[in-house]
């Protein structure tokens, strides 16, 4: 997770990891409600929240990278149309 935030991850596998952990934690959340296990309920709820934040961060970085690539292409294209 450290590399996720220091390197501004846009890795699709990291996003898949987060989404699968959200699904897994949701199952544990249902189990903890059924069994009345408060510590597991808190843990599962916290996991869902934190993995959701991580997934949003990865998606935001993907959008930023995509928009930066688009602006670089348009800058290169416009500079080739108007040579100095």
pLDDT digits (tens, 9 = 90+) for 32-68: 999 999 999 999 999 999 999 999 999 998 898 888 8
What is the mean predicted confidence (pLDDT) over 70-78?
58
> Could you give the domains of the chain?
2-81 (1.20.1280)
The pLDDT of residue 77? 53
The structure's pTM equals 0.72
Cα–Cα–Cα angle for 66, 69, 74, rounded to 5 degrees:
125
HSE of 79, CA atoms in CB hemisphere, 13 A: 6
Report the alpha-carbon distance of residue 50 to residue 35 in Å, rounded. 23
pLDDT of residue 9 exceeding 80: no
The pLDDT of residue 72? 60
The pLDDT of residue 83? 56
């Amino acid at each position: 997770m450290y590399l996720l935030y220091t390197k501004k991850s846009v890795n699709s596998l990291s996003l898949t990891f987060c989404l699968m952990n959200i699904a897994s934690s949701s199952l544990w959340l249902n189990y903890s409600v059924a069994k009345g296990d408060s510590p597991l309920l808190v843990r599962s709820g916290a996991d869902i929240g934190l993995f959701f934040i991580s997934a949003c961060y990865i998606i935001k970085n993907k959008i930023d990278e995509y928009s930066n690539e688009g602006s670089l292409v348009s800058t290169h294209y416009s500079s080739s149309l108007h040579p100095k």
